[in-house]
Amino acid sequence: MERSKYSIILAVNNMAILDYGREILKTSYDVYPALSAVKFFEILKHVIPDLILLDVEMPDMSGNEIIKKLKSDVRLSEIPVVFIAVNRDENSEKKGFDLGAADYIYKPFSAPLLTKTVETQLKIVQKTKDLMAIQTALKNYESNLEKMVLNKTKEVISLHAVLTAVAELIESRDKYTSGHVSRTRLYLKAMIEEMLRKEIYKEEISKWNLDYFLTSSQLHDLGKIIIPEQILNKPSKLTSEEFGIMKKHVSVRVSTIEKILNNTYGHGFLHHVVLITETHHEKWDGSGYPAGLKGNDIPLEGRLMAISDSYDALISERPYKKAFSRIEAKKIIENNAGIQFDPQLVNVFRSVTDNHEF
């Protein structure tokens, strides 16, 4: 305890006892002596002490009256007051404690007793200050954290809105895929919920922010923004050359998203975008593109999107094909388990489509 930091008002009605008490304390504390209530309150105009030693029987105002005034003043109410009394009196002590006294000490006090009483009270003062400092720090932290979360939420929502608009813009270029983005997101959400229920790929999913993942899914065809419209909207099957151009949509996104990542801060869902867009055309048996990844080497994001994307393509009409029925599309997905799709995820998909009408 750094005693030199503490200040004490010693208010006693007897000059000899006042001088004696001051001599005991002055080497360790800043002591302000007062022989009267008038002097006592005069000191308080200039000094807010850490502790008050107050005679119960001051000449111009009783100790009880003084402590009442102290406790009614918000500036002074938390200062601990130790009453100095002549005799032990249970009723008087009870009244003093009821008024807010911290302790009692009796005349004539000894140096060790006075020193110990002061030390005890100042330890309490220090602990109270430490606690208040911690509480203040916590409040400030919580306040700052709340502001940070609010600002970050606004930032994420803003970027989310922008990217949603971008996804809709991309989709609008392909007149045959209207609603594809929102439908694939719906399938993904249902599959994730089923996986969480059945604890499938639980460890991996537990590391995701699912809102970010679903936001990311909207941009799985981001690269189509550079594909010529005559290819996107060709009313027949693509030639091998045209299909080669179409395949570029999964890799062109790299530079686009990296620019966003390099010029924004903390948008974790963009990392899902990278994995989804680049790998949702990979196949479980390694025959997909662009990297020919196989099995669990394909990120889970890409494996999930592969099923959602393929299912929606199957049940949608294209200029070169009619829409399959949901039963037919489901059968095609199931028949490609272990070939195009992750078998575990196909089981999840089967369960989801058995319980949802999509």
User: Could you read off the pLDDT of 223-252 as tens digits, one per residue?
Assistant: 565 556 666 566 667 777 776 666 666 665
- The answer to whether 55 and 63 are in contact (CB under 8 A) is yes
pLDDT at 220: 67
pLDDT at 252: 55
Q: Is the peptide bond before 290 cis (omega within 30 degrees of 0)?
A: yes
pLDDT tens column, 94-142: 999 999 999 999 988 889 999 999 999 998 888 888 777 777 766 776 6
Cα dihedral angle (322, 328, 333, 339), rounded to 10 degrees? Answer: -90
Tokens representing 203?
């460890």
Pick from 266-275, 296-305, 320-329: least confident: 266-275
Burial of 302 (0-12, 13-18, 19+ CB in 10 A): buried
pLDDT band at 297 (very low <50, low <70, confident <90, very high): very high
Where is pLDDT greater, at 79 or 218?
79
pLDDT mean over 296-319: 91
What is the percent of the chain with per-residue pLDDT over 90, rounded to a whole number? 49
- The answer to whether 307 and 208 are in contact (CB under 8 A) is no
Where is pLDDT greater, at 293 or 167?
293
pLDDT at 1: 40
Mean pLDDT, all residues of the chain:
82
Residues forming beta bridges with residue 49, ordered by sequence position: none
Q: Is the pTM of this model over 0.85?
A: no
Tokens representing 168?
């809709």
How far is Cα 187 from Cα 352, in angstroms, rounded to an integer?
A: 8
> Is residue 164 scored above 50 in pLDDT?
yes
Residue 224 designated active-site: yes
pLDDT at 157: 52
pLDDT at 2: 43
Q: Which amino acid type is present at position 108?
A: P
The rounded Cα 338 to chain-centroid distance in angstroms is: 40
- What is the b/e burial string over 147-171, where b = at least 16 CB atoms within 10 angstroms of the residue's CB? eeeeeeeeebeebbeebeeebeebb
For 179, left (φ over 0), alpha (ψ -120 to 50), or beta?
Answer: left
What residues contact residue 46 under an 8 Å CB cut-off, 6+ apart? none
pLDDT at 324: 93
Pick from 7-16, 87-96, 130-139, 209-218: least confident: 130-139
Catalytic residue among 94, 147, 198, 224: 224
> Is residue 175 scored above 50 in pLDDT?
yes
For 234, left (φ over 0), alpha (ψ -120 to 50), or beta?
Answer: beta
How far is Cα 83 from Cα 99, in angstroms, rounded to an integer?
A: 11
**Torsion sign over Cα 62, 67, 70, 71:** negative
pLDDT band at 16 (very low <50, low <70, confident <90, very high): very high
pLDDT band at 3 (very low <50, low <70, confident <90, very high): very low
Going by their DSSP bridges, the two strands 7-11 and 81-85 should be labelled as: unpaired
